[in-house]
Amino acid sequence: MRKASWILSGTAVVLVAASAVTRLTVYPALHQVPDGSETTFRLHGTATLLNASALSGGGGELFLRDVPVTMNRHVEVTDTDGRTAVVHDDAALRGPGGKELAVSRYVWALDRRDLTARPAPAGSKAQNHTGLTVGWPLEPARRDYPFWDTGTEKAVPAHYTGDKTIGGRNTYVYDVSATGQLADPAVAKGLPKALPRAAVVQLTNALPVQQRPSAAELAALPVTVPLTYDSATEQRAWIDTATGSTVDGTLHQTVTARTTGADGPLTLFPVTDVNVRATDATVRDQADTAADTARLLWILRDGVPLGLLVVALLLAALAVRQSRRPTRTDPAGEEVHPDDVRTPIS
């Protein structure tokens, strides 16, 4: 085999190896949540809230009903350690004029590929949990996933309910429903453990008639009414099938005050009722980002490896062709390829 054939064959082998390395090493290394990544998901809608000012005698309606609100959820990867990402998950609910109505702050230790719980790195202050929290696996599937509900602090199913095109992207739709006693300490610490019966009667009388406890039930309550709180959350997420990113989402979350009446548990009044959905601008931005990410992943997963293989096959074919071309023997007895013969200059 001529020297040129050896060079072509060697180059082809190198390209095949580079294709395998790109697909099996480079792509998996890059196909994970990167350190320092962050996103802000914006939602808008309405909320019904207890009016703390009126409750304390400041006047006005006891319940602020259907107040227009916005919610900004900011998710940032602040540290990584191998397959583990430390993620800060902050949300702020604001009313008219940008007034802050509620905030939440969580820290999670997550797997950088499937976003499930990982052991918390030392000093991270990540909270214990099971299931998904801030998003879906980078390669989502048509199946149910365990999902961590912060209100009740328990894992519930996120049910796969179908496919839908949102913002030009193919998405899987997942529904989450969670109810139970409020367990989130950040929310519970701001709520009273008891109220005077007169205050409870005042609050329940401000509700529509069909939502009020009966007069007899209220009259049977002790002078100081002990309170517990229930949390109910309904979420729907539209998840990009190629990247696992959230393209669209809804959230309906309520906290309700309860007590124990003469005949058992007794629902008293709502504390918060928030109903929001992703803004149109957020859906467009999320869809555009998903498209860009999917394109990059295709290049790393398929485009570059296939391109290298095609070039390698072409070089291999050229090497075979070179090796099969006829040769002749020069006067010294050495084989000479026709391409090596030079025409003398006259």
pLDDT in tens, the chain (346 residues): 456 555 655 565 554 554 454 454 444 555 577 888 899 999 999 999 887 666 666 566 778 889 999 999 999 999 998 889 999 999 999 999 999 988 999 999 999 989 999 999 988 999 999 999 999 998 899 999 999 999 999 999 999 999 999 999 999 999 999 999 999 998 898 888 999 999 899 899 888 898 899 999 999 999 999 999 999 999 999 999 999 999 999 999 999 999 998 888 999 999 999 999 999 999 999 999 999 887 776 566 555 556 555 555 665 566 566 666 665 555 554 555 555 545 454 4
For Cα atoms 298, 304, 309, give the angle at the middle one, nearest 5 degrees.
Answer: 130
What is the rounded CA–CA span in Å between residue 126 and residue 132?
A: 14
Nearest Cα neighbor of 202 from 212, 194, 216, 191 is 212
**Using an 8 Å Cβ cutoff, are 117 and 109 in contact?**
yes
Nearest Cα neighbor of 248 from 133, 164, 166 is 166
pLDDT of residue 263: 83
Task: Read off the pTM.
Answer: 0.80
pLDDT of residue 332: 52
pLDDT of residue 110: 96
pLDDT of residue 32: 75
Residue spans of beta strands (DSSP E) within the chain: 38-50, 63-81, 84-94, 100-111, 145-149, 154-166, 169-181, 194-196, 224-226, 228-240, 246-261, 264-278, 328-329, 335-336
pLDDT of residue 284: 96
CA distances (Å), origin 312, targets 3, 6, 69, 252: 18, 13, 58, 55
